[in-house]
Amino acid sequence: MNLISMLVERKLNLCPPITRHVVVERDIRVPMPDGAELLADRWVPRNGGDGLPQLWCVPRTGGVPNSAST
């Protein structure tokens, strides 16, 4: 556990995590009904236990400028 993680956990009164040993699968393509594909990261416990799914929604442009900036 790093110090920042511990401080945020205490400040927000969060329960401690089941495990901090995870495997991250990055850039999994998820097709949307409109034909777009979103990229997702999947975080699962390293030991394959009963981990809850984690969903992170953050914008990622991948270096491609968006249409609002052109």
**Per-residue confidence (pLDDT) for residue 69, from 0 to 100:** 42
Instruction: Give the tens place of pLDDT for each residue, 37-69.
Output: 888 888 888 887 666 666 666 666 655 444 444
Q: In the predicted model, what is the mean pLDDT of residues 12-29? A: 82
Domain residue extents for the chain? 19-59
pTM of full prediction above 0.75 = no
Is residue 20 helix, strand or coil? Answer: coil
Residue 43, both tokens: 């975080």
With vertex at residue 57, the alpha carbon angle to CA 53 and CA 60, rounded to the nearest 5 degrees, is 130
42-54 in b/e form (b: 16+ CB < 10 A) is: eebbeeeeebeee
